[in-house]
Amino acid sequence: MTAVAAETPSARPERVTPIRRRRKFNPRAVGRVLGMVLIVLWCLAPFYWMIVASLRQVDFTFDSTPYPKHVTFDNFRAIFKGNNHFGRALINSLIIGSVVTVLAMIVGVFAAYAIARLHFRGKFAVLGLILAASMFPGVALVTPLFQFFSNLGWLGTYQALIIPDLSFALPLCVYVLSSFFTQMPWELEQAAKVDGASPGQAFRMVILPIAAPGLFTAAILVFLSVWNEYLVASQLSNNDPNVSPVTVAIAGFTGSDPKVVPFTSIMAAGVVVTIPLVIVVLLFQRRIVSGLTAGGVKG
């Protein structure tokens, strides 16, 4: 009888319905979300307008319609034709950017490691000089660089473009990597030395794998800075299409009428140049973010 009574509906425990609490309105959270949305729209609006303008027919260049209208892909075909030398300029930018990135990483890794690991007098002064070199205005260097490379007969050559870009990119690389190396756990390197590894082996087998996010971040930032450089390249390339990077080539675009600026072709070239960089950043955004933030946390 007891077992039967326990199975009756009156003896079963009643289910307690959880009370759902209404979330309070948080104006600060709403303000933060709206602020982020406005920042994203502000940053993406020029790129969106560039895409819209690149898809317009030439006769509707100055149409103010905020969405694609009179769509055509002739602008993308036109940038690879005529005397624009856009395809060659893409190859030149890739060569210059790759060479500068590799050289800056080779030199910057050892320089940043020495600044972060070694203790010597004037270490902070050396880092300050490196940062000062990166902040020096490029417009003040154009004339002496032009005269220097002109005396060497290097105007219109790859070395005339690579060396100045390297001098601008190397301080950025050293600064990013030195701040990353400073916060790394040096106990791992000491443990490797205790196990019999030489300083070079400990650096190559322990430090570099741990520093991979920082190295990747520095390489991306250096390549982007070189890819977007225009001022020095416009003077030292000597308008030679065989060495001119893509920024110089876009500035020299000419249309069917020499008196009319081909805005739609320029916008199409801007899209072609920008989209690969956006794809790279989106694909490796986790590594970039981890590389930028890993050096800022102790413990």
- Phi and psi at residue 133, to the nearest 5°: -65, -35
User: What is the reported pLDDT for 14?
Assistant: 59
Q: Is 71 helix (H, G, I), strand (E, B) or coil?
A: strand
Which of 4-8, 117-121, 183-187, 206-210 shows the lowest per-residue confidence on average (mean pLDDT)? 4-8
Q: Is residue 299 scored above 60 in pLDDT?
A: no
CA angle 160, 165, 168 (to 5 degrees): 140
- Phi and psi at residue 19, to the nearest 5°: -85, 120
Q: Was domain 76-294 assigned CATH 1.10.3720.10?
A: yes
Q: How far apart are CA 193 and CA 199, in angstroms?
A: 7
Q: Is residue 128 scored above 90 in pLDDT?
A: no
Which of 69-73, 75-79, 113-117, 294-298 shows the lowest per-residue confidence on average (mean pLDDT)? 294-298
Residue 19: which pLDDT band, with cuts at 50, 70 and 90? Answer: low
Q: Is residue 244 scored above 90 in pLDDT?
A: yes
What are the DSSP calls for 262-299, one per residue?
Answer: -HHHHHHHHHHHHHHHHHHHHHTHHHHHHHHHHTT---
* Beta-bridge partner residues of 17: none
Q: Tell me the average pLDDT across 266-293.
A: 78
Among 213, 144, 223, which Cα is nearest to 179's?
Answer: 213
Which of 35-44, 167-176, 272-281 shows the lowest per-residue confidence on average (mean pLDDT)? 272-281
**Residue 251, both tokens:** 């500035």
Domain ranges of the chain: 26-72, 76-294
Per the model's pLDDT, the better-predicted residue between 144 and 210 turns out to be: 144
Q: Is residue 18 scored above 70 in pLDDT?
A: no
- Phi and psi at residue 56, to the nearest 5°: -90, 155
Per the model's pLDDT, the better-predicted residue between 200 and 87 turns out to be: 87
User: What is the reported pLDDT for 5?
Assistant: 47
Helix ranges (DSSP H) in 55-137: 74-78, 86-117, 123-135
